Amino acid sequence: MAEKLKVAIIGCGAIGPIHASAVLAAGEELVALCDLLPERAEALKEKLALEHTKLYSDWKKMLDKEKIDVLHICTPHDLHAEMCIEALARDLSVLCEKPLCISYEQLDAILAAEKKSRGHLAVCLQNRYEVNSGKLKALVEEKGFDGAYATVVWNRGVDYYRSGAWRGTKAHEGGGVAINQAIHTLDLLQWVCGMPKTVLAHAFNDHLKGEIEVEDTVTAVFETADGKKLNFFATTAGAKDFPPEISVRLSTKEIALCQNDLFAIGLSSASATLRQPTLGGKLVWGKGHEALIRDFYDHIRMGSHFPIDGEEGAKSVRMVLGIYRSGGEPVTL
């Protein structure tokens, strides 16, 4: 049996425990946890019975002291770039939560660091691992498409934004619904239909004025190089959380509709029984984290290139930044 990879995680809040459970499920060794709030790291260590895992509140000190192979970054968005660049400079492999970063300058710096590093960079866009996402992509590759639209309708109230000082702020979150809740669906839209060339978008906040400084709702029309339109709508002002959805009009004139738990084509549909995520968390997150993390480690062991690398992770960031630049005028991505 191959020696276990030594793994550390920065950020033990909402998504950190999902990564920790997936690391253990993949059979790797979780040697260190880091969080600015020591009690969160302590709670995660206790929950997973991690007897020998070291705890830190300073991530650079953790990297200096611990000999690790892989770093998982599960922190607020504005910290991703610095942590990615530092870890890659140390030739560590990195799995970064979405979004890869929040600005073009950060994007350029991360991709430059990736090229120089002997480590692997991966971005956690786990919805590509959903069965129905792969089914839709294969169908579009087989039959072609004429147009598509995607929707994300979730509810995020005042309590959600008050749960962390970084939430709802331009400086730390980088934006609102587009860069946080909807970025996975934007990634699937371009993964299935191809990276668009332009976008015309509007971003606005009608739901939580005075509570957040970022958008709660986005409408956008992306256009591909050959003139096909990809319509997009996302909001955190929904009555409840609904499954993100992508619908594609195939070149055969059929309509294919895809959710995590539903796939339909034409006028007929077949739905799976709704299930809870394997590793806990929210149903709307999907269950792709474990599959992505296991696949990432397989690529590291084989010394092969993981497909969701920096440039792949950059695509959805460019789509989001294009939305923010647009202001109702078409812009090139």
Structural contact between residues 124 and 97, judged by C-beta atoms closer than 8 angstroms: yes
Whether 267 shows a pLDDT value over 90: the answer reads: no
CATH number at residue 234: 3.30.360.10
**Number of structural domains in the chain:** 2
Question: Which position has the token pair 């929040």?
Answer: 102
The reply to whether 133 and 264 lie within a common domain is yes
Domain housing 137 = 129-272+314-332
Structural contact between residues 144 and 251, judged by C-beta atoms closer than 8 angstroms: yes
The reply to whether 186 and 319 lie within a common domain is yes
Per-residue pLDDT of 179-231, as tens digits, reads: 999 999 999 999 999 999 999 999 999 889 889 999 999 999 999 999 999 99
The reply to whether 115 and 135 lie within a common domain is no
The reply to whether 18 and 65 lie within a common domain is yes
The reply to whether 16 and 109 lie within a common domain is yes
The reply to whether 95 and 202 lie within a common domain is no
Q: Which of 217, 88, 246 is nearest to 156 (CA)?
A: 217
The reply to whether 44 and 137 lie within a common domain is no
The DSSP secondary-structure symbol of 155 reads B
The reply to whether 322 and 174 lie within a common domain is yes
Residue 161 covered by a domain: yes
Q: Which residues contact 329 (CB under 8 A, 6 or more apart)?
A: 200
Question: Which position has the token pair 């692997």?
Answer: 120
CATH number at residue 25: 3.40.50.720
Please, where are the H alpha helices in the chain? 16-25, 38-47, 59-65, 80-89, 104-116, 131-143, 158-162, 170-173, 183-193, 289-302, 310-326
The reply to whether 182 and 50 lie within a common domain is no
Residue 302 covered by a domain: yes
The reply to whether 224 and 323 lie within a common domain is yes
Please, where are the H alpha helices in 117-263? 131-143, 158-162, 170-173, 183-193
Residue 31 covered by a domain: yes
Residue 279 covered by a domain: no
Per-residue pLDDT of 26-40, as tens digits, reads: 999 999 999 999 999
Percent of the chain with pLDDT over 70: 93
Residue 1 covered by a domain: no
Residue 101 covered by a domain: yes
Task: Quote the CA–CA distance of 174 and 166 in Å, as a whole number.
Answer: 9
Parallel, antiparallel, or unpaired: how do β-strands 145-153 and 229-235 relate? parallel
The reply to whether 161 and 207 lie within a common domain is yes
Bridge partners of residue 246, in order along the sequence: 150, 258
Residue 282 covered by a domain: no
Structural contact between residues 123 and 114, judged by C-beta atoms closer than 8 angstroms: no
Whether 281 shows a pLDDT value over 70: the answer reads: no
Per-residue pLDDT of 106-162, as tens digits, reads: 999 999 999 999 999 999 999 999 999 999 999 999 999 999 999 999 999 999 999
The reply to whether 86 and 148 lie within a common domain is no
For the chain, what is the mean pLDDT?
93
Model pLDDT, residue 274: 36
Residue 224 covered by a domain: yes
Q: pLDDT-derived band of residue 273, with 50, 70 and 90 as boundaries?
A: very low
Backbone angles phi, psi at 258, to 5 degrees: -130, 125
Q: Which of 295, 243, 308, 231 is nearest to 271 (CA)?
A: 243
Task: Quote the CA–CA distance of 266 and 263 in Å, as a whole number.
Answer: 10
Structural contact between residues 175 and 324, judged by C-beta atoms closer than 8 angstroms: yes
Structural contact between residues 75 and 10, judged by C-beta atoms closer than 8 angstroms: yes
